[in-house]
A = this chain, B = another copy of it.
């Protein structure tokens, strides 16, 4: 448990460093809209606070057989919609009147996906897999929106934005597909991996999918606006 705490503290520090770095970038925005910086700063701050709670032993429920890290869901339910908003707004970066219905659909599907994951984590037997499957369906619908309606919007604004958007979308898709895989293999799912491996996965994955994604997105946008 000592090791777990250290890892979680370390994660919070990395998130804080990420937020400070994006704040530093936002001081010289280079034409990129403020909301992109706001999202990049908020995501790691919230995630870092959630993991701090886990490090303190507060964001964890110990049930007889196993441990539910419910603070992870508190993290995800806020940060994953913000990541999708960042990606969606990147696709619409040159659009004056953003397509709100598309953004709201993305966020709704995402919140639904996280909630099904939470319920699945507290469920057992076949009911667990029904909730898990519903969550995966929501993820597939999200990826459909990312790769079809959103990509089409990005494509209408020239080659440079199109390439940047596809790169960000591909990056996000890779990591988001790894999450349900790690969930399924770990103690929340079938329990193939050890607790230690599970914790490591949920430390390393989010560093790439949060701070990593924002670095890729913001630097690309800053080059676009030059």
Contacts and interface: CB of A to CB of B under 8 A. Distances in A.
A134 interface: yes
A108 interface: yes
Contact of A127 (B45, B58, B112): B58
A87 B34 CA distance: 21
A34 B52 CA distance: 41
Interface residues of A, number: 23
Contacts of A104: 35, 38
Interface in A21-60: 34-35, 38, 42, 45-46, 49, 52-53, 56, 58
A224 B123 CA distance: 47
Given A42-B108, A58-B127, A108-B42, A53 B101 contact: no
A45 B116 CA distance: 13
Interface string A103-128: 01100100010001001000100010
B35 A119 contact: no
B127 A56 contact: yes
A101 B85 CA distance: 13
A62 to B, nearest CB: 17
Contact of A119 (B58, B127, B134): B58
21 contacts: A34-B101, A35-B100, A35-B101, A35-B104, A38-B101, A38-B104, A38-B105, A42-B108, A45-B112, A46-B112, A49-B112, A49-B116, A49-B134, A52-B130, A53-B119, A56-B123, A56-B127, A56-B130, A58-B119, A58-B123, A58-B127
